Amino acid sequence: MSAKTRSHEVAAVLRTEILRNQYRPGERLPSERDLASRFETNRGAVREALKQLEQLGIIAIQPGGVRVLPKEEASLEILNYLMELEGPNLKLADEYLQIFKMLCVMCAEHTIAMANKEQLAFIESTIAKMKTDPGNKEFMREGWTALFGCFLTSSDNLVVRLIVNGLKGQLAVAMTVVDPKHTIDTKRISKILNGMNRAVKNRDSKRMGEFIGQYFEWVREITAKSFSNSQSPAAVGS
């Protein structure tokens, strides 16, 4: 788990402690010298680690002391660490899904409107592939990942691209945090896939967006069901 270098290690430990609310926002971190002795390393490594955390937006380094910032002011990247730490968390997962829904719909509409023949062909073939076995979760996940990647590339939107970078692989995570016992409503999925297929054929970007939106709404539903059925979760955040 640890990191490549000493400073990354220190940064990881401190980041974890902060995200686990072991320090209250505004509270002072131990001094660089104390941290150095605690981690049995030198002050330089600690300073490098703190610089990273500062760039992450979870601490503020000032003469007089390092202070912890509220999570709400941090950088997008902390979400990945939060997800790792807190485990399944319905609220956060649903927030992810809402964002991904929007981004995906937006990119898909743009793609359908602007794509060249090859891209359209790829999209059609991917949808066709998914239609062969809409009950297989892993299979569907791969298909959606491919589709989303295609939309992302074709829409050529740097802002969206960077947001997705910040959210990294969490799309896959969010979309698979579902009760494995949950049986998939293949009829509904097939309907959506058929709709998407028609939308691509007619180059109807608006309808494409609607069907993709429907799919994400379905994912949100089953995610919520999974959480309410199995009481398994979850460490509360913030």
Partner DNA sequence: AGACCGGTTTGGTCCTACCACATGGGTCCA
Partner DNA sequence: TGGACCCATGTGGTAGGACCAAACCGGTCT
**Cβ-based nearer residue to DNA, 38 or 201:** 38
* Interface with DNA, residue 26, by CB under 7 A: no
Q: Please choose which of DNA, its own copies, none residue 34 contacts, taking the beta carbon within 5 to 8 angstroms, the exact cut-off set by kind.
A: DNA
Among 19, 29, 97, 115, binds DNA (CB under 7 A): 29
Rounded Cα distance between 74 and 31, Å, is 21
Minimum distance, C-beta of residue 209 to its own copies, in the bound complex (Å): 11
* Interface with DNA, residue 65, by CB under 7 A: yes
End-to-end CA distance of the chain: 24
Q: Is the peptide bond before 146 cis (omega within 30 degrees of 0)?
A: no
* Interface with its own copies, residue 25, by CB under 8 A: no
* Interface with DNA, residue 66, by CB under 7 A: yes
Position 226, amino acid: S
Position 113, amino acid: A
By three-state DSSP, how is residue 20 classified?
A: coil
Q: How many CB atoms lie within 10 A of CB 180?
A: 8
Position 91, amino acid: K
Paired strand residues for 66: 61
Q: How many CB atoms lie within 10 A of CB 126?
A: 20
* Interface with DNA, residue 4, by CB under 7 A: yes
Residues 30-69 that bind its own copies (CB under 8 A): 44, 47-49, 51-52, 54-57
* Interface with DNA, residue 31, by CB under 7 A: yes
The contact set with its own copies (CB under 8 A) reads 7, 44, 47-49, 51-52, 54-57, 71-79, 92, 95-96, 98-99, 102-103, 106, 157-163, 165-167, 237-238
